[in-house]
Amino acid sequence: MLPCQGRGRGFKSLPPLMKDKTQIVFSYLQKIPKGKVTTYKILAQKTGIKNPRTVGTIIHKNTDTKKYPCHRVVRSDGTIAEGYAFGGKNAQIEILKKESVNFKGKKVDLVNHLFTL
């Protein structure tokens, strides 16, 4: 399984038109500061991608979490998606907490930590 791929979501390659969008999505990942998160939906809107799940597919191709912090992308309701490849959902939560992202229950406190690009 490729890094950041969730179970059952593995794609070996992206459609040709998505390859350009991949570069754009990854450039936006670099802009999310520590202590902040963005959503798949916001990334989709910024890049002109119709379906936020497509953004997830693109992010799942990430192999360099230091350069492209995919752990800083969450669902629109603040929940953490399943299948974070670098240690699972709990590892993603711990990384976000170490970056001073607060949670309300099982959801990221989007009021204080949402980065809208």
Catalytic residues, by residue number, are 70
Going by C-alpha positions, the residue among 83, 82, 103 that lies closest to residue 94 is 103
- Asked if 93 and 81 count as a contact pair (C-beta separation under 8 A), the reply is no
Residue partners of 107: CB distance under 8 A and separation at least 6: 77, 78, 79
Task: Please report, for residues 19, 47, 73, 117, the alpha-carbon distance to residue 82 in angstroms, rounded to integers and kept in the order given.
Answer: 24, 23, 12, 23
**Three-state DSSP state, 115:** coil
The radius of gyration computed from the CA coordinates of the chain, to the nearest angstrom, equals 13
